[in-house]
Each structure stands twice: as C-alpha cells, then as structure tokens.
Amino acid sequence: MATQMKEMNVTATRNGLDLEQMVQTVEAIKAKPEIAQFRFRARNRWITGGENRSTIRDFYGACAEDQSRDKPFEFTNGEPPVLLGNNEGANPVEFLLHALAGCVTTTTVLHAAARGITIKSLSTELEGDIDLHGMLGLDENVAPGYRRIRIKMNIEADCSDDELADLLQFAQAHSPVCNTVCRPVPVVIERV
C-alpha cells in the first residue's frame, strides 16, 4: 500500500513538463475553447535617453486574471555607448532575440514532450542584422527592423534525425514569438 501511494505521488514528467497537466490543459481547451484566450501585458516608464524600465506581472488567461506572481518582474532597456547610451541594460532589439530564442526553445520542448521525445540538451545562438539608415530615417527604402534573423540550434534528443527535423519545423511554425516576427502583426499606439 505504501509502495502504491508512493508510485501515485510520482508525477510523470518529460523534458521537465508535467505530462498529466499537459494533457489536462489540452482537454480543457477542447471542452471550453475560451480557456485558450490569453492577454499579456507590460508597463514601461522612460528614465532618460535610451534607458527605460518595464514591469511585468499580471496577465489574463484560462478565463481568469492570473494571481501567481507575488511581485513584478523588472527589466531595464539601455543602449551601448556607440548607440548613445551607457549599457544601462541590453537594448530592445537584443531583448527581442532573447524572447525569440526562449519561445522557439519552449515550443520545441513542449511539442517534443507531446510526441514522446526526450530532449537531452538544447542551445541556440541568434544573430540579426539591422541597418541604422532605417531607424534614423536616412533612407526610407531601408527597413528599420531586422532584415532577417538566423538561429543556430544545437539539440540532442532520443529520436531519429527525420523526427527531429519534423519537430523543429513544427516548433518554428507554432512558436508565438517566431510567428509574431515572421508574420505582419498590427501594433496600435493610442495616446491616453
């Protein structure tokens, strides 16, 4: 009996994810689609020059305001001296790469778990090219944002190369940040 209870308390995980919670989440969304609607938020305040700070805490999802965070996360944007700053923080286009790296990684790990694939290790190196002629308004034919972003991924998993290639293609297509970058997403600014 003691052995049985002990076994019942062992949560089955794969890639660090609770498989039962994964299945329950998907089943809950199928039963009640509005559970899948999320609204994420950030509040930012300008300090001076290229320095500004965000707080991130609340969001709406699973039909409720989230209450899980005791205090907000805080992040500081800055700029290096060559871009008129003092390295007060990473700069916004670098934070975008961090967001993209994390999202592709988490989406890969999640769908690997769903497919029964165990990830042994996963690391990425990202590079993106920007021509300042765009941001500075010196040439209206130059896009102000990234021209393209390259992700070099080093991944080890207990599956075949074909299965891994299929997983990576699926994860790239379903990563929320990657999709936000690859697809034109409307941004609306409203003065209040």
Is 159 near its own copies (CB under 8 A)? no
Residue labelled with tokens 């500081």:
76
Is 160 near its own copies (CB under 8 A)? no
Binding residue (CB under 8 A) for its own copies from 3, 7, 148, 162: 148
- Kindly state the smallest distance separating residue 157's Cβ from its own copies, in Å: 11
- Kindly state the smallest distance separating residue 94's Cβ from its own copies, in Å: 5
Asked if residues 89 and 139 have their Cβ atoms less than 8 Å apart, the reply is no
Is 43 near its own copies (CB under 8 A)? yes
Binding mask 56-85 for its own copies (x = CB under 8 A): x--x-xx---x-xx---x-x-x-xxxxxx-
d(CA 154, CA 135): 32
Q: Which is nearer to its own copies, 1 or 186 (CB)?
A: 186
Tell me whether strands 51-56 and 17-18 are parallel, antiparallel or unpaired: unpaired
78 to 38, 137, 175: CA distances (angstroms): 29, 21, 27
Q: CB 16: neighbour CB atoms within 10 A?
A: 8
Is 192 near its own copies (CB under 8 A)? yes
d(CA 101, CA 109): 12
- Kindly state the smallest distance separating residue 10's Cβ from its own copies, in Å: 17
Site for its own copies in 172-191 (CB under 8 A): 172-191
